Amino acid sequence: MKTKSEKFVEEKRESWKQLLNLIRKINKKGIRELDNEEAELFPRLYRKTCQDLAEARMLELSPDVLEYLNNLTGQAHHLLYFIKPLSRKELSDYFMKILPFSLVKNIRFIVLSLILFWGSAAGTYLAVLESPQFAERFVSAQILDYIEDMYREPVSTGRTAGQKAQMASFYIQHNISIAFLCFATGIFLSLGSIYFLLYNGIFLGSIVAYLTASGMGPHIWEFITAHSFLELNAIAISGAAGIKLGISLLKSWQNYSLDYLENSKGDILSLVSASAIMLFFAALIEGNVSPSALQYQFKLAVMFISVIVVAFYFFIYPFNKRGGK
Amino acid sequence: MKQKKLVIETPEKIIFTYNIAEIGTRIAAYLLDIIFQMIILISLFLLSGLSLVSSDIYDSESGYYFLAVIYILLFIFQWGYFLFFETILNGRTPGKKICNIRVIRDNGERLDFQSIVIRNLLRSADSLPLPFLNILGGLTAVISKQTKRLGDYVAGTAVVTDSLFMLDEPDFETHINSRENIFVLKPYCDRKLSEKDLYILRKFINEKDQMPEKSAEKTAEKIVEKLRKIYDISMISNKSDFEIIEEIYKAHIYENKK
């Protein structure tokens, strides 16, 4: 006599085999290579096999049958529910309806992060201006010497187009990676992000003050004016994303539920993308405009334009949109 | 080490159990991916560098453009490789594909772009304190119940085994041919064994020849001990444990064939 399990398998094995063959085919060639008939058959077979799995569990059939059905449907499941490609509509919605709202929506984190960064920068600036040797507490003497050498002459040293391109792409790689790190270390209960915000603020404050004290103020200001608004605030925004990540993690722990983390994922990502986009443009400016021989007024104008664009996209536009509803 | 399992419930209320990928497999997949990236990068460098060999690469206009391209490529590979492949290959990278592992959502939902971005952005925290070595992420994965690195925790993802080798149809054949003693034992089989018990017997009968002798004997002893609780096997108690197991399995299988 056959066991219950054996009868069950004999009765249904044909449709399982069909499903397995489709899984093989999709693994080899991708789901888009199925013909119409197969594309219709696949979800049907999947659902039928899921029913078989449920029935087999109820009947308490042999463990190898249960495992086979579990693996079969489990693998079919992630082939059937593959990642949806982003449509053009979703992409434009992201830039029109989600990204511009991210700063306002998370304004508490943004403000906190800006205070940490600019506060530490301003504090260090004033302290170092008062007594320049104070800078050596934060920045090694070697780096100070190096930077002093760099700004001894005015920055507009007539770089070639190639040099400018090289510097711009270096800044893209370097600065965006730093912003990502500043965000990612927020996982340590926000502490990593806070550390990076303070560290960058202190570093910036001491260097600018040190150079100003040694009489090279105009040179450094001329260099950083055009890109600094975008670049520095972008770092602060990535820090805000990191702080939010840490806080959501903490809340999730307190409430024994990962929902907090899950629900803040979208906001966190929007902040990081806002930061990366700003840094991308900042790098282009830093590579091409900041070191150029253009007049200072022109560099100042570039900064004002970036302020206006950021203010419009992240503040005025979302407020108007909200008011209009 | 015991196989770690991930139980998920899909939105349609179907419960699946996945085998969590071993940490060694994940390291292997990661190394493969790093090697692939290097191969692509080096071949790109060679291709673009060939025309630059004659001139001084680092102090010419074309050299600067060359460096510009290198920085951008580094950036794209550093952050884009895993993102790109996990997106288009639905939770896999070339390395993961070779190692038969896959990223899935641990809540049963469809894998989404957002989760992939998050788990890959968190790589920079996982790779502390030394770049590319994933020391912190590795430690977290070892401690974690589901072998998760930091990025997996935040994104709500898990890496599971996903292999066609796992799809062998159950086989009900046994190596017993003789039908001796079936009818003698028949009366003892009134209280049926469960399907699971039968599976254990079948598995033991089929695999005992491949097992080391000592452990086969021990397993047989344990099984017979359990059988004793269900049946009065005094009738065949003169037989060895192996024989008792075979007899009882036979008696079940051929029960109604007279």
Q: Does B111 touch chain A (CB under 8 A)?
A: yes
Rounded to the nearest angstrom, the gap between the alpha carbon of residue B224 and the centroid of all alpha carbons in its chain is 33
Q: Does B130 touch chain A (CB under 8 A)?
A: no
Burial-class residue A82 by CB neighbours within 10 Å (0-12, 13-18, 19+).
middle
pLDDT single digits (tens) A244-257: 999 999 998 888 87
Q: Which of A50, A163, A245 sits opposite B64 (nearest CB)?
A: A163
Q: Do A9 and B115 touch (CB under 8 A)?
A: no
Residues of B in contact with A13 (CB under 8 A): 169
Q: Do B10 and A4 touch (CB under 8 A)?
A: no
pTM for the whole thing? 0.83
Number of helices followed by number of strands (H, E) in chain B: 11, 4
Question: Which of the residues in chain B have pLDDT under 50?
Answer: 54, 257-258
B127: closest CA among B242, B244, B30?
B30
Q: Do B167 and A65 touch (CB under 8 A)?
A: no
Question: Residue holding tokens 């983390």?
Answer: A261
Number of helices followed by number of strands (H, E) in chain A: 13, 0
Two tokens, residue B1? 């080490």
Q: Do B115 and A265 touch (CB under 8 A)?
A: yes
DSSP labels for A71-100? HHHHHHHHHHTPPPPPPHHHHHHIIIIIGG
C-alpha pair distances (Å), B2 with each of B147, B148, B190, B223: 12, 16, 36, 22
Distance between CA atoms of residues A199 and A186, nearest Å: 14
Per DSSP, what are the bridge partners of residue A117? none
Q: Do A3 and B122 touch (CB under 8 A)?
A: no
Q: Do A78 and B168 touch (CB under 8 A)?
A: no
C-alpha pair distances (Å), B93 with each of B30, B86, B98, B124: 9, 5, 9, 18
pLDDT at B78: 83
pLDDT at B10: 80
Q: Does A166 touch chain B (CB under 8 A)?
A: yes
- More confident position, A154 or A43: A43
Residues of B in contact with A2 (CB under 8 A): 172, 253
The ipTM value here is 0.86
Q: Which residue of A71, A244, A267 is the best one to mutate when testing the B interface, meaning the one whose CB has the most B CBs within 10 A?
A: A71
Among A4-13, A226-235, B41-50, B192-201, top mean pLDDT goes to A226-235
**pLDDT exceeds cutoff 90 at A277:** yes
**Maximum distance among all alpha carbons in chain A?**
99
Q: Where are the alpha helices (DSSP H) in A161-216?
A: 161-184, 191-213
pLDDT at A109: 94
The band of A324, judged by pLDDT with boundaries at 50, 70 and 90, is: very low
Overall residue count recorded for chain B in this entry: 258
Q: Which of A2, A63, A249 sits opposite B199 (nearest CB)?
A: A63
- More confident position, A49 or B164: A49
pLDDT single digits (tens) B84-142: 999 988 889 999 999 999 999 988 888 889 999 999 999 988 888 887 788 888 888 88
DSSP letter at B234 equals G
CA distance B72 to chain A (A): 6
pLDDT at A274: 94
Of all helices (H) and strands (E), which one includes residue B252? helix B241-253
Q: Backbone phi, then psi, for A139, in 5-degree steps? A: -125, 135
